[in-house]
Every structure is written in structure tokens, then in C-alpha cells.
Structure 1
Amino acid sequence: LDFGSGPSPVLATILERDYGFDMDIYDLFFAPNKVFSGKKYHLITSTEVFEHLGDPLEYFKLLAGCLEDDGLLSIMTLFHPLDDQEFLDWYYMRDMSHISFYTSDTMKVISGIAGLDLVFTDNRRYTSFRLKR
């Protein structure tokens, strides 16, 4: 599942073409049919989406419920600077549609609440999760 695929689901296309995944796409504006309802996935991606969500925990729980037991949830969103002045000057924060900001610690806390284990982070923008075992 490419969750928040946008107007042109590039990642889903690459995963299908180059890696043999059979991808579903969902986007609130461009592909609003909730194709994920009642389905389980081995891979869920969400690229530059979670910074736009007002209640990200709700979506973590939703996507956790869509994972197969061995499934992987991979999220990309730029982590915010820890320094207050850097945060205030940060370009990412100046986009009015960006309303939720994260660090790897934030991702770890949220994932624990959502029933996920954080299995990878680059401490900058990428995080991957699996269901808690």
C-alpha cells in the first residue's frame, strides 16, 4: 500500500515494476477510495505524508491494523532540529500544511502506543516499523 500516494504514485510504480510488488494506492485527494479497508499488507509506505496529519497516532494505529504479521511500515518525513532557533528557522516548518513534526524519539514513543516496534531509523527522515511480537 502506498498511503498518501499523491497525484502521481511514483513509488508504487517503481515497487511494482522493479520489485514485483502488487501495490494499492490511497490518497485523500487523488485516490480517495479506501482500498486498504479489510486488507493486510506486507509493505506499507508513506512518503512525505505524516507531517500533514493532525492526529498521527490515529493513522499509526490504522496502518498497524493493515500490516501482515511480518509486514513493514516505512515512513518518510523530515525530522525536526532539536535546537529551538534552528527549528524556528527551519524551512519545513514554514510550509503551512506541515502541522506535525517528529524525531526518532517521537517515532519510538508513537510506535509503542500503536503496537509497533521501530526497527530502523536514520535519525533524519526514514523510519520503519513492524508489529510488536
Structure 2
Amino acid sequence: MGALCEAVLGRADLATDARFATNPARVAHDEELTGLIELALAGRSSAEVERRLDTAGVANARMRTMAEFAAHPQLAARGRWADVGTPRGEVTALLPPVDVPGRRPRLDPVSDLGEHSAAIRAELGLPEDR
């Protein structure tokens, strides 16, 4: 807490403020604390805040857009992408987030619209599609 208050927020006094000394106290004073943090960071770029957090040794992660998330190098490094067939050609899909040892997730080709309609109708005992 001290590193965040002093090196990142420039408010060393907050580290000893009784309103924020414990997690329950911070939760009880969340609105006030959020306002103080926003005030301390106002006018700073996200790159500057990230640099301050890293320098202070405060764990952090930047919120990313969907495009930034998809381009993150760790997804490729960890083999999280797979090609999946579709009626209009192959697309790249993200694998499910959980790995089961010894099993690769099954990513079957995407069905075309109506591809299985006749079989489903037959299985349900419905008349053929008109």
C-alpha cells in the first residue's frame, strides 16, 4: 500500500490514513478512496501510470481492446489459437481457457445454415421441410 500511495499517487499520507488501513476500511470508504485515486491520476497518461506502477513494484495490468487482446503475444506463445473450418473458409479461433491434461479441445467445423435441419426434423419425427 505504501508504494502505491507514495510512488504512484504521490500521496504517502494515504498509507497511514485509518480510513484506508485495512481492506474492510477501504471498502467502507470506497467512494472517497476512488475519488482520491482519480484525482491523483488525473492528467497522467496510461503509459505514465503503468510505468509508475511497474517502478513501484505494484502488480497491474492494462485494460485492452478486443483487437489488443487478440494480438497479445502470449496467446500465440501458448498455442491458444486454432484454425476452424466454416462454410466460407477457415477462421482462426481462440481455444477454451481451460486445458485438460492429455486432451486437445475439439473444434469441429462450423455448420452451414440448415445443414442439419433434415436430420433433426427426422429425429424429432417432424415432416420434411417444405
- The two structures have a TM-score, normalised by structure 1, of 0.23
Greater relative contact order (Cα 8 A, min sep 6): structure 1 or 2? 1
Structure with the greater alpha carbon radius of gyration: 2
TM-score w.r.t. structure 2 length? Answer: 0.23
Higher strand share: 1
